[in-house]
Amino acid sequence: MRTLYFDCFSGISGDMVIGALIDAGGDPVHLETELKKLNMENEYELTFNKVVKNGITSTKFDVLLTSDAHDDGHSHNHGHSHDHEHNHNHGHSHDHDHGHDHGHNHSHEHSHDHGHGHNHSHEHSHDHGHHHHNHNHDHRSYKKIVELIQSAGYSNRVEGNALSIFKKIGQAEGKIHGVALEDVHFHEVGAVDSIIDIVGAAILLEQLQIDRIKSSAVPVGSGKIHIDHGIYPVPAPATLEILLGVPIAESQVKGELATPTGAAIVAVLAEAFCTLPAMKVQSIGYGAGTKTFPKHPNVLRVIIGEE
């Protein structure tokens, strides 16, 4: 049985998952080719770079949005240094770019006119090495995302996994905000970069011929974050809702270590949460976050082997 183990010692986000799967032997050319089936390639560019995090060479994956991804016609190639793509604001209209330091190590400064009359130049310090904070204001609905994935012609496995992960996030957002699943609009996680992360993870897991997924407990970080609705504790409400039933690990790191997308990937796909299972290890991959921590490498490790 070919097993993949998510070793989430520094948390998990969608882009860290992609980086780790590529690092473990996933094919980036295959990934890009398959993602074109979504007919969104004019909205983004993908980058894969080798970086060293506290002595560990890892793969940093980024989604760079192009101007076609935005109604306002402005190019927002953020570089997405969103350590975890902290999209806790997906189900609602969080323009968390009002000069708030969201405690998330967003390390990119951009000024864009949302068409809302706010020309906010802000620097997010989004705390966790996971790139994409998507300021896409196309606000794709849950229904539209389902249609997008279903019309792409993926295998049953890829389509099923991607839809299940989005449903997990949509249900959490709907519960938090008191709206039905079909009425949820993904202001953040539904944007281009998160669609890429979720569908991309499903594509790579199939390409790597993974039969079973297991995971460590998930550290979520600590402290507080500042978003449009005010000051919230870590984990953000949607992330915590997604992790209902999943073992959470204690962490002294200030900031968010798990994002809704990363949390949903592991919550939906892992059949067990445990220590590293007995296996013959065949490949190892490290997916980098953006932020650098003083005492440990900010990476997600995946271990693939025969159980």
pLDDT at 117: 37
What are 138's two structure tokens?
């196309």
Q: How far is CA 291 from CA 119, 138, 241, 269, in A?
A: 26, 28, 25, 26
pLDDT at 186: 73
Question: Pairing mode, if any, of strands 218-219 and 248-249?
Answer: parallel
Reported as a single tens digit per residue, the pLDDT across 60-83 is 999 998 865 544 433 343 333 334
Reported as a single tens digit per residue, the pLDDT across 158-197 is 999 999 999 999 999 999 989 999 888 876 544 788 899 9
Number of domains in the chain: 1
Reported as a single tens digit per residue, the pLDDT across 37-65 is 999 999 899 999 999 999 999 999 999 98
**CA dist., res. 202 & res. 163, Å (int):** 10
The DSSP string of 238-267 is HHHHHTTTSPEEP---BEESB-HHHHHHHH
What are 246's two structure tokens?
């999943």
Higher pLDDT, 152 or 125: 152
**CA dist., res. 119 & res. 261, Å (int):** 28
pLDDT, averaged across the chain = 81
Find the range with the poorest average confidence among 32-36, 108-112, 226-230, 232-236. 108-112
Mean pLDDT confidence for 12-18? 96
**CA dist., res. 59 & res. 198, Å (int):** 17
Nearest to 215 by CA among 255, 243, 256, 174: 243
Reported as a single tens digit per residue, the pLDDT across 266-292 is 999 999 999 999 999 999 999 999 888
Over 50: is that where the pLDDT of 129 sits? no
**CA dist., res. 35 & res. 20, Å (int):** 18
State the Cα angle at 22 between 35 and 78, rounded to 5°: 65
For 46, the domain range is: 2-306
Nearest to 300 by CA among 131, 186, 47: 131
Contacts of 44 (CB under 8 A, 6+ apart): 63, 64, 65, 66, 69, 192, 193, 196
Reported as a single tens digit per residue, the pLDDT across 215-248 is 999 999 999 987 767 888 999 999 999 999 999 9
Over 80: is that where the pLDDT of 89 sits? no
C-alpha dihedral (79, 29, 14, 109), degrees to nearest 10: 0
Name residue 197's amino acid.
D
Maximum distance among all Cα pairs of the chain, rounded to whole angstroms: 57
Which residues are registered as beta bridge partners of 222? Answer: 254, 255
What are 20's two structure tokens?
């780790």
pLDDT at 80: 38
Whether residue 300 contacts residue 10, with contact meaning beta carbons closer than 8 Å, is answered with yes
What are 278's two structure tokens?
């007995």
pTM: 0.79
Higher pLDDT, 159 or 133: 159
